[in-house]
Amino acid sequence: MRYNAGEIITAMITPFKKDLSVDYVALEKLVNHLIETGTDSILVAGTTGETPTLTHEEEREIFKFVKKIVNGRVKIVMGAGSNSTATAVDSSIKAKELGADAILSVVPYYNKPSQKGMYEHFAAIAKAVDLPIILYNIPGRTGVNMQPATIAKLANEFKNIVAVKQSNADLDLISDIRSMCPSDFAIYSGDDSLTIPMMALGAHGVISVASHVVGKQMKEMITAFKAGKNADALKIHLELFPLFKKLFMAPNPVPVKATLAHLGIINEDVRQPLVTLDADEKKELFSVVDKYSF
């Protein structure tokens, strides 16, 4: 592999205090919890970390704090995407200066670029910084889908474009990406429930939300699958599947924050326009969560 971030990259939430400032005490607790439960790399400042409502300064302060707490135990990936190419380039350079091991860079959102525009966007980032770059294709949030041919063109032309996080349920696209990209280019599932299906088609692992809660079980599932114990992997997948779905019953990261609060790890608070779950929604979520042992 061009760059091995491990099989489970956790897209880490940002814990807040009641006044909605960053809760660094809870953040330290969370980082240690993730490392202890199977996370191979921590993604700081991804969408799950509520970056739409974090300032760039907050993102960088969070990264510096996490890097100090991690102290080399796992790798740290920094979200450095933007729908402005100039801003994405600047954020990528800043990530390098902060000591990120790699960056995650999302397809530009809202302005809906063409495939050529996507290529030029990521080419500019790849030329500007020598960090490993994980592309992030999530058409449900960006409004556009980066085609396998575009991913392959970038992967073939730029050695520092090392992987893609694919948040698209069309599994035929995984076959296309795997067949068109170099063998050392990694594919990560962007959806917990598609981890095993995508791995069956050549994906390396998952950039996960559920690993906040069931990291140990997910590590066991992936380890079993890679060892050829497909029945064991399927059994764990089916056991976790109801939780995978419930963690997206409301906009991410609202349900996973509610779950972590239920488990006594952080507060559930989110910044507007997100809102916390109401009592009925929590009852529905926790009726699933409480079936698992943590």
Which residues are part of the catalytic machinery?
A: 136, 165
* DSSP sequence for 113-177: --HHHHHHHHHHHHHH--S-EEEEE-HHHHSS---HHHHHHHHHH-TTEEEEEE--S-HHHHHHH
DSSP-derived secondary structure letter, 193: G
Q: How many CB atoms lie within 10 A of CB 275?
A: 11
Distance CA 95, CA 76 (A): 10
166-169 contacts at long range (C-beta below 8 A, 24 or more positions apart): 166/137, 166/190, 166/198, 166/203, 167/136, 167/137, 167/138, 167/139, 167/140, 167/141, 167/191, 168/137, 168/138, 168/139, 169/194
Residue that is written with structure tokens 């091991």 in the block? 101
Distance CA 170, CA 203 (A): 14
- What does the angle CA 22 – CA 64 – CA 110 come to, to the nearest 5 degrees? 70
Q: Token pair for residue 209?
A: 């939300």
